[in-house]
Amino acid sequence: MAIVLAIETSCDETAVAVVNDRVCCSSVVASQIPIHQKYGGIVPEVASRCHVETLNDAIAQALAEANIDWEAIDGVAATCAPGLVGALLVGFTAAKSLALVRNKPFLGVHHLEGHIYASYLSELDLEPPFICLLVSGGHTSLIYVKDCGYYETLGETRDDAAGEAFDKVARLLQLGYPGGPIIDKLAKEGNPLAFPLPEGKVSLAGGGYHPYDSSFSGLKTAVLRLVQKLQQEHSQLPVNDLAASFQETVAKALTKRAIACALNYGVNTIAVGGGVAANSGLRSHLQAAAKERHLRVIFPPLKYCTDNAAMIGCAAADHLNRGHTSPLTLGVQSRLSLTKVMQLYQHESAG
């Protein structure tokens, strides 16, 4: 079993963890949300500078909390793609430097593969094949997990990601940033059936609709028009009902696609990853639908839903156990398909 020090700086969290195979020994996450809130979103240059200021302390803290020294570390890993290039470079360069100085194997990890591995941290018996519903601020995908490093994307969003839609609707309702947690909180006090909203189907050229792809731009526009209408009719918006109706629509759309995907591909497990996996509406809908169809659904603990280094370390440990390492010439990429994960690694037999 490999012990890995992992670094995650793909966006606005500076995260470092020590992971022993599927066991998290320490996980440090320094969030930048308070810094970016006044801008209503993430400012890439600000995020990069914050990573530089925070990373060294986070590394020291992760090693101290794990009560482990460098002799016990088998490899050093960092997120290499996708993400904000400047932010990625901070953690990636630090990890490569540590690997070089400490003479340890280096691994560049795909951020989305990390979100898949978040479920492994809480479900030690989880093994492929299974379906992963990956829902975050930048990604909404249904992924067929075949094995470590081997994935097939079955469905994805054609426009806004689910988390992005939450942020945009929250901004529309003047709720602040990030939108997901506040909409989830308000939705618990609202009526989810107050306002029927469009699900957002993706048409096929030959007729009918794509069974797994999602679209949220139409839903966002529908909320905008509804808000404009209500503002003309009332002095005060029914924010709780709007939040509940929006969240209900998103949760039902994602649930329907995930269940269909699992049934059609003959797998009995759905693992959910990404920040939107923390959403109570999605958890409730998907768990109920899975139970009806005798499917197993796995939601990671809340601390592993948002960006963290433990999930990166878990993915890296599995790759390292299989003899996969990355060359020090590897670079960072703002975009990289999950299907190209194995391009990040070389096998021991390859030299």
Per-residue model confidence (pLDDT) at position 35: 77
The per-residue pLDDT for 351 is: 38
pLDDT digits (tens, 9 = 90+) for 201-233: 898 988 999 999 999 999 999 999 999 999 998
pLDDT of residue 33: 73
Supply the mean pLDDT for the chain.
Answer: 94
Q: What is the pLDDT of residue 41?
A: 78
- Other C-beta atoms closer than 10 Å to the C-beta of 288 total 11
Q: What confidence score (pLDDT) does residue 137 get? A: 82
Do the domains 3-118+307-350 and 128-299 sit in the same CATH topology, yes or no?
yes
Question: pLDDT per residue over 122-181, tens digit each?
Answer: 999 999 999 999 998 888 999 999 999 999 999 999 999 999 999 999 999 999 888 999
- Model confidence at 42, pLDDT cuts 50, 70, 90, reads confident
Fold of 3-118+307-350: Nucleotidyltransferase; domain 5 (3.30.420)
Q: How does pLDDT run across 169-208, given as a tens digit for each residue?
A: 999 999 988 899 999 999 999 999 999 999 988 989 889 9
Q: Within 10 A of 265 (CB to CB), how many other CB atoms are there?
A: 15
Q: 234 falls in which pLDDT band (50, 70, 90)? A: confident
Three-state secondary structure string covering the chain: CCEEEEEECCCCEEEEEEEECCEEEEEEEEECHHHHHHHCCCCHHHHHHHHHHHHHHHHHHHHHHHCCCHHHCCEEEEEEECCCHHHHHHHHHHHHHHHHHHCCCEEEEEHHHHHHHHHHHCCCCCCCCEEEEEECCCCEEEEEEEECCEEEEEEEECCCCHHHHHHHHHHHCCCCCCHHHHHHHHHCCCCCCCCCCCCCCCECCCCCECCCCECCHHHHHHHHHHHHHHHHHCCCCCHHHHHHHHHHHHHHHHHHHHHHHHHHCCCCEEEEECHHHHCHHHHHHHHHHHHHCCCEEECCCHHHCCCCHHHHHHHHHHHHHCCEECCCCCCCCCCCCHHHHHHHCEEHHHC
How many residues are present in the chain?
Answer: 351
Beta sheet of 75-81, edge-to-edge order: 23-31, 13-20, 3-8, 75-81, 106-110
Residues 6+ apart with CB under 8 A from 178: 33, 137, 166, 167, 170
Q: What is the second-level CATH architecture of the domain 128-299?
A: 2-Layer Sandwich (3.30)
Query: Looking at the predicted structure, is the pLDDT value of residue 348 above 90?
Result: no
pLDDT digits (tens, 9 = 90+) for 290-331: 999 999 999 999 999 999 999 999 999 999 999 999 999 999
Domain boundaries, the chain: 3-118+307-350, 128-299
Do the beta carbons of residue 254 and residue 282 sit within 8 Å? Answer: yes
